[in-house]
């Protein structure tokens, strides 16, 4: 993978191998995306990880196969990363992968709305829910000045329109490097309208 150190690239490749090995057992990612795992999941997660500057704590919601949470932990070992996942089988995978990759992450097996708030500087979620459902879940895990990073597909404008009556926020819309119609939404100063 370009743009990362050899050691980071090796860890990302090992993560990809682990995901491929475990997906047939517990459906970490869709079977149709296994062949395109590097671009569709790892590179997509790397562009989320790029948003990290002056970050101490990162919380990834609905971590599933570790995207983007484990990728963030690989690229930024200096950041305390918390992964929240409700599926116990996926938590077993996340614990196994973090041991195999030598990562120091906190894994919480809980529903997002029931997990103790993390107070993270950045809260991320990838392919989890529409913004109308995601914002209330994410806000409770962010610090007062947190940023919220959500990769979204072509329908992101409709999702934004659907929440503008209930929420006010600052937004930075960044084009995705992996899909033409997709974006990375970076939200801040989220408050109920």
- pLDDT tens-digit readout, 91-113: 999 999 999 999 999 999 999 99
Rg from Cα positions in the chain: 16
Confidence of residue 1 (pLDDT cuts 50, 70, 90): low
- Tell me which residue range forms the domain holding 33: 6-192
pTM of this prediction? 0.94
Residue 1 lies in a domain: no
CB 73 within 8 A of CB 87: no
Look over the chain and give the mean of its residue pLDDT values, rounded to a whole number: 93
Tally of domains within the chain: 1
- Which carries the bigger pLDDT value, residue 177 or residue 138? 138
Kindly report the CATH number assigned to the domain that includes residue 52. 3.40.50.150
Residue 26 lies in a domain: yes
Residue 188 lies in a domain: yes
The pLDDT score that the predictor gives to residue 2 is: 58
């Amino acid at each position: 993978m370009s743009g990362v150190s050899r050691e980071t690239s090796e860890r990302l490749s090992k993560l990809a191998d682990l995901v491929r090995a475990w997906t047939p057992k517990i459906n970490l990612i869709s079977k149709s995306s296994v062949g395109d795992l590097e671009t569709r999941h790892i590179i997509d997660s790397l562009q989320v990880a790029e948003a990290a500057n002056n970050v101490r704590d990162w919380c990834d919601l609905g971590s599933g196969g570790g995207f983007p949470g484990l990728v963030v932990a690989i690229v930024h070992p200096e950041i305390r990363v918390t992964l929240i996942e409700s599926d116990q089988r996926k938590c077993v995978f996340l614990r196994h992968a973090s041991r195999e990759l030598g990562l120091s992450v906190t894994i919480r097996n809980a529903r997002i709305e029931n997990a103790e708030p993390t107070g993270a500087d950045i809260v991320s979620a990838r392919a989890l829910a529409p913004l109308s459902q995601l914002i209330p879940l994410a806000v409770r895990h962010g610090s007062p000045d947190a940023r919220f990073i959500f990769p979204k597909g072509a329908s992101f404008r409709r999702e934004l329109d659907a929440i503008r009556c209930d929420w006010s926020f600052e937004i930075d819309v960044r084009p995705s490097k992996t899909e033409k119609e997709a974006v990375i939404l970076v939200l801040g100063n989220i408050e109920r309208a």
